Amino acid sequence: MMLAARFFRFSLAVLVTVSAVAPNGRTFSATVSAQTDKPAADEFVYANFEKMENGRPVGNGGGLVQIYTAQESTPVQFKGLANASPGAPEIVRVKGNEQNRVATFEYSLVGPNQWANVTLEIQGHPNKDGKPVADDVSAYRNLSIQLYATGTEGLRVEFISHGQGIPLNAGFPQISLKLKPGFNTYLIPLKSLSQPSWVEQKVDTKDVLRRLTAVSISAYCNQCTPQHGTVAVDNLVFQR
């Protein structure tokens, strides 16, 4: 299922169109939010990539931000923050609004692979006693997210719950977004999420949202042919 873009204005924010520099040196047009006040009570800012710890970005609750790969057979690759382990996105400042930061990475998907992905995962909080810490976002109706990508027409956004009693390791509720040119804001209705058809163990999306431990954004392919490009992500905000 591909969800078309829907554009909107952040409350308590001013939207400005500027340009940012991707890791490969290319610039891209970006509509970004310059916050003028604290988030509204009906919004929960999950990640805006303004926080850094130990030289790498973390989510707004301090959770790990990492990049990883998965594939059916032939290894795929990414390029992000230099010398980061585990992998992490590079954080770039937006020209014209230097206080705003955007998470970026390059990806390379190749065949032969029946499926493959390069995934940026944002965890809500640091682990506690070796276990993921959950957020209850079930009262929110939408997730807004700013995305840009080259080399692909769409990205997948997945809502994850590990270590909270949800009987899944993969195939959590998700949606594939059909992208428009440029760096744009997309509004994801949480009621539109669904699990992939290959998942045998079905779960209630509301249960996952009550025990959310991470949100991921993936560049992916099925019956893969070579795809190479850049992804930029900013401002994951749950809205009532």
In the 8-state DSSP scheme, what is residue 184? E
How many CB atoms lie under 10 A from the CB of residue 135?
A: 21
Q: Which residue has the tokens 């926080």?
A: 51
Give the tens place of pLDDT for each residue, 137-149: 999 999 999 999 9
Number of structural domains (the chain) is 1
**Which candidate, 32, 77, 85, 78, places its Cα nearest to that of 56?**
85
The values of phi and psi at residue 79, to 5°, are -135, 125
Write down the pLDDT at residue 118. 98
Rounded CA-CA distance 203/168 in Å is 8
Rounded CA-CA distance 116/224 in Å is 7
The values of phi and psi at residue 2, to 5°, are -110, 125
Please determine, for residue 230, whether its predicted confidence score (pLDDT) is greater than 90.
yes
Rounded CA-CA distance 19/96 in Å is 7
Q: What is the pTM of this model?
A: 0.85
Residue-averaged pLDDT of the chain: 87
Rounded CA-CA distance 232/215 in Å is 15
Give the tens place of pLDDT for each residue, 180-199: 999 999 999 999 999 999 99
- Dihedral over alpha carbons 55, 59, 60, 63 (to 10 degrees): -90
Instruction: Show the domain range for 55.
Output: 2-239
Residues 6+ apart with CB under 8 A from 191: 141, 205
Give the tens place of pLDDT for each residue, 33-77: 444 345 567 899 999 999 999 999 999 999 999 999 999 999 999
**Which candidate, 31, 35, 45, 30, places its Cα nearest to that of 11?**
35
Q: What is the CATH number of the domain that holds 136?
A: 2.60.120.430
Write down the pLDDT at residue 100. 85
